[in-house]
Amino acid sequence: MAKGKAQDLRGAEKSKDQNKEKVHLRKKVTLLRGISIIIGTIIGAGIFISPKGILQNSGSIGMSLVTWVACGILSLFGALSYAELGTCITKSGGHYTYIFEAFGPHAAFLRLWSDIIAIRPAGMAVISLAFGRYILEPIFMPCGVPEFAIKLATAIGLTMVMYINSVSVSWTARLQIFLTFSKLLAMVIIIVPGLYQLSRGETKHFQNAFQVHSMKLSDLPLAFYSGMYAYAGWFYLNFVTEEVDHPERTVPLAICISMAIVTVCYTLTNVAYYTVMSSDQLLASSAVAVTFAEKVYGNYSIAVPIFVALSCFGSMNGCTFAVSRMFYVASREGQLPEVLSMVHVHRHTPVAAVIVLYPLTMLLLFIGDIYSLLNFMSFLRWLFIGLAVVGLIYMRYTRPEMPRPFKVPIFIPAVFSFTCFFMVFLSLYSDPVNTGIGFGIMLTGIPAYYIFIVFDRKPMWFHKLSDSVNRSLQILLEVVPAEN
């Protein structure tokens, strides 16, 4: 009998050891890490380089500040809607998952297709190029930075991000926290002297701040478009929901804290700019934060490009971490190759899903017309985000039994989805050619869906080749199917 008990105890201990060794994505995203993911991906290079799009289209300093605050509130509406989606649908994947749950696999695949062939590689390439330029600027000052040097530094930075995300979730999260604090420190360096100038009575640029004669109602939507783009990134925590510790509490709290911090920082940073620069000087500057620092800090302004580069690196890191989880979930749903849903045996990271964008992004860096591609695809982002939020409203009526630990008033998703579709309509009106090309690229996902997903009668050689590539990648990357 004692022998039997001993065997049972050994069996129980063995079972515990096996459970400890389960290969899966672990819940390592705490509240602080969640906040760092959101803030670290929202605050990119834009607020430091060129906030003039809002000023140009709003027509006055006063209206530009109102637009910054209004865009922050609208983005908060979107973020709160995603907080509800993230707590009632606890799967990772963000937009893709919510569209899949609400409208089915076909609509979700169109979003995935647009992301993987154009939006994500182009977006990552643009922010990486900004990193490469600003990390080298202090070295080459006062001369311009050679284009090849920028692309080489960009390629190194991108490779580092991919490597860190492949090696460890903890390293990625700790790096993101550090980079987020660096961004906030950079904004404090701008905000504090700006507020000091205000306290000394430097308000000449705020006189007649609301000049009605210079404001055109037809341009205001474009100002809001620029503002909403500057706040984009509040949705990235929803891409990693399965790795969030206590998501029903952490997701809403992280979103609310992050959006409050970003809105206050963005508004105060712009106020600081206007204490030193007139609206004409700001519009003439190619990098507003650098111009501000030259006026305030003199020779010490060399630090600002470094902070801008760190800000870009944080956006690269947060975006890679989040978007890889969308590919991981899409593979699990059978819409991408199986190897993308596998996890490294020892590191517990989705290595294949992390590096899948690397080849195409590197290709775009050296041969692609990235900015045109972004123009094609910018409206698709708001189309699908609006569709995901409409899905929230739709599921309120079609799936009322769904548990909703966090629930927002219906007017919040209604206002936000209307804003998204208005921006889509604005894109169609203001730039029908590029928008039409982007729409056409998205529609190529329809035949791709039927060829790769629906059509079952693929030739035997195709199945053998697919299996062989999958096995080879599995061995090469040391990944195995994740356990639940």
- How far, in whole angstroms, is CA 134 from its chain's centroid? 20
Cβ-count burial 24-52 (b if 16+ within 10 Å, e if not): ebeebbbbebbbbbbbbbbbbbbbbbbbb
Which amino acid is it at 391? G
Q: What are the backbone dihedrals phi and psi of residue 244, each rounded to the nearest 5 degrees, phi first? A: -90, 130
- How far, in whole angstroms, is CA 254 from its chain's centroid? 15
HSE-up of 484 (CA within 13 Å, CB side)?
2
Structure tokens belonging to residue 389: 């939020």
CA-CA distance, 349 to 334, in Å (whole number)?
Answer: 19
Which amino acid is it at 47? I
- Classify the C-alpha dihedral 447-453-456-461 as positive or negative: positive
Structure tokens belonging to residue 401: 């039994």
Which residue from 53, 83, 87, 390 is spatially nearest to 259, judged by alpha carbons? 83
CA-CA distance, 171 to 414, in Å (whole number)?
Answer: 38
Mean pLDDT by 10 residues, the chain (484 residues): 45 43 69 89 78 80 88 92 91 91 92 87 86 85 81 93 91 90 89 87 73 65 80 88 87 91 91 87 81 82 84 90 91 89 86 90 77 68 91 92 90 93 81 80 90 79 80 82 70
The superfamily in CATH containing domain 34-481 is: Amino acid/polyamine transporter I (1.20.1740.10)
pTM: 0.86
With vertex at residue 111, the alpha carbon angle to CA 107 and CA 117, rounded to the nearest 5 degrees, is: 135
- pLDDT score recorded for residue 121: 87
- pLDDT score recorded for residue 423: 82
Which residue from 172, 135, 176, 175 is spatially nearest to 152, judged by alpha carbons? 135
CA-CA distance, 370 to 228, in Å (whole number)?
Answer: 21
CA-CA distance, 178 to 182, in Å (whole number)?
Answer: 6
**Residue spans per domain, the chain:** 34-481
- pLDDT score recorded for residue 159: 94
Distances from the Cα of 404 to the Cα of 86, 210, 241, 252, 392, angstroms: 9, 43, 15, 12, 11
With vertex at residue 82, the alpha carbon angle to CA 238 and CA 337, rounded to the nearest 5 degrees, is: 40
Q: To the nearest 10°, report the CA torsion of 175, 27, 412, 416.
A: 50
3-state secondary structure (DSSP) of residue 369:
coil
Structure tokens belonging to residue 421: 């579709």
